[in-house]
Structure 1
Amino acid sequence: MPGEHGNESHLITPADAVERGMNGPKGEGAECPWCGRVLEPRGVLLNGRVAWAAYEPCGCEGEANAAKEAKACELKMREREKKVKLIRSGVKKRYLEATVDTNEAQRYMERFGSDDGRGLYIHGNVGTGKTYLASAMARMFVDAGYSVVLTTTLAMLEGIQDAYGKETSSLDAVLRFASSDVLILDDFGKESASAWSASMIFQIVNYRYEAMRPLIVTSQYDLAGLEKRISRQGEHERARAVVSRLRQMCHTIELSGNDRRRG
């Protein structure tokens, strides 16, 4: 098969092998599959001998077109793999092309990793772009190689609850959210209030707080409002504990403006 132009300088030609007194290639060469020109063999050193494993590039138009097609195919495959990773991380199809569109979030991303595990608390009215921004940040984290979980708090709690009685233990389900490199909880405060949900939320927030793992939260409520939401079934102590940790571990971004969904 034809060799690649970028590797040509590292390969040994038949003339090189003769000059070094090494074994030459068997046969005269191979024909270019596009134009039929006979291509000279190329080899690599292997345990003192030459392994003739490739051929010189032809440089013809057919070869160039095939290389372009192969590159385009590779790019499409990478894009497909990237989308699969994003979807597995929790990014919805609507937000696969989302971009970070606030200065505060952009600055956070630029200093990520040098901020003692600090996260973000993003709050604002309905339709101000909270989910869009969270998804855009998830895209950047996934691109950078971090393990990311993006989910609503309601879906997270349902996933943990569904784990009871199954092969995956509730502890394993909790650890999926607690131990990822980046956890993004969307729509915090929309979940039903109960002693169990308050306990699960506290466990996950506290784990990430103590491990200094970043937590990014979006909510319709500011932190004072979130505390009221978590405690509306009497879980005041846990609600205070959760919000206290969020205050310490997260920078705050408030999004304002009209409802983006009303076009």
Structure 2
Amino acid sequence: MDKIERTLGQLFEGRDFEKEYQEVKEKVLSYEPIRQFLTENKADISEQMINQNISNLYEFMTQDQNFKEKKETLMPGYAPKLVLNGEFMTVTYYPTPEKIEQDKRRAVERRIRSLYMPKQVVEASLDQFYTDEDARQYALIEAFNFLKVYEESSATMVKGLFIHGSFGTGKSYLLGAIARELALRGVSTTLVYLPEFMREIKQSISDNTVGEKIQFAKETEILMLDDIGAEAMTAWTRDEVLGAILQFRMQEQLPTFFSSNYNMAQLENHLTFSQNGTEEQLKARRIMERIRFLSKEIELNGTNRRN
């Protein structure tokens, strides 16, 4: 016990706490934003209130200085502000414009769920969609038509788009741009690169997660299936996976989008033949009936922008 007392005595020996307090107080009260605050509220602030709230004023001074000098603060992304609340002067923190914008971006990103889609598609924007060719202008008009009708519709079925065309014309990009515009309007979308999704479905048989993955695709608010027709389709993935997803979405009238290098007639022919070469026209026709019910066919041709 004696040793602790000696240590404490050595620590505080020779310190004039009253002098240190007055120096801190003088520094705080001379800080220009605090001087302005006290002047603006002088009718409601007494000397006693200042003394009682000096620690809060000191917090504001240090945090405000750090914020202005872009140093670390107690609440990154938030700026300090002095507020008079009765006999108390408290420090509150409000989000900066940068923080608000960052939160908006994150909220938009959370509404776009992506499976195996490239970053440039997920971050696509309708403002950046090239409309230098007539076919592209028509596709953009159809995209805006969907957005308008979907926003105004509360109960009726709204068809998505079946976007087909040559390689590199921006079909996937347009899907991503529509998804981002929907996210800005508070609507959640799931973008799926279908060939990779089908590969994962096959691999999921071993861990019994096929059902939950199919259910996820069934129930998402808006589903976009990219590059349908490029996958190696078996009779099982065509009928029990794709067919089940489309059947559910047709029954629930959930908007569904597609992109493909095939038009609808060509895709039906593609779906007719399973991986082992079996020809099943009736089953392919059933899939196409669901696709036609869910989406409107539009062509997107033009310059290959990957080259």
TM over 0.5: yes
The residue that corresponds to 1:20 in the other structure is: none
Say which SS state the counterpart of residue 112 (structure 1) adopts: helix
Q: TM-score scaled to structure 2, two decimals?
A: 0.63
User: Which residue number in structure 2 is paired with residue 27 of structure 1?
Assistant: 52
Distance 2:192 2:242 in 1: 13
Partner residue, 2:125: 99
**DSSP 3-state at the match of 1:111:** helix
How many Å separate the matches in 2 of 1:14 and 1:236?
Answer: 86
- In the superposition, relative to structure 1, how do residues 88 and 259 fare at CA in structure 2: closer, same or farther (>3 Å)? closer
Count of matched residue pairs: 224
From the two aligned structures, give the one with the greater helix fraction: 2
Instruction: Pick one of 237, 240, 252 that aligns with 1:211.
Output: 252
Shift of 1:79: 3.0
What TM-score do the two structures reach when normalised by structure 1?
Answer: 0.72
Corresponding residue to 2:202 among 145, 153, 161:
161
SS of corresponding position for 2:225: strand
Q: Deviations over 1:24-76 (max 9, x none)?
A: 999256424058xxx67315xxxxxx9x5835x9xxxxxxxx978x4324433
Unpaired runs of 5+ residues, structure 1, are: 1-12, 16-23, 44-49, 58-65
Pick which of 155-164 and 169-178 moved more. Answer: 155-164
Q: Deviations over 1:177-221 (max 9, x none)?
A: 111001100111111132112112111111111110111000111
How large is the Cα RMSD of the aligned pairs?
3.4
Q: Which amino acid aligns with 1:120?
A: L
Contact kept in structure 2, 1:123 and 1:222, CA below 8 Å: yes
Amino acid at match of 2:98: A
The alpha carbon displacement at 1:154 in A equals: 1.1
1:136 lines up with 2:172 in the alignment = no
Q: Is the 8 A contact 2:221 2:254 kept in 1?
A: yes
Give the structure 2 partner of residue 170 of structure 1: 210
Say which one has the larger Rg: 2
The partner residue of 2:302 within 240, 253, 257 is 257
Q: 1:188 to 1:96 in 2, by over 3 A?
A: closer
Indicate the residue corresponding to 1:75 in structure 2. Answer: 101
Counterpart AA for 2:228: F
Q: Determine if contact 1:89/1:150 at 8 Å carries over to the other structure.
A: yes
2:166 touches 2:300 (CA, 8 Å); kept in 1?
yes
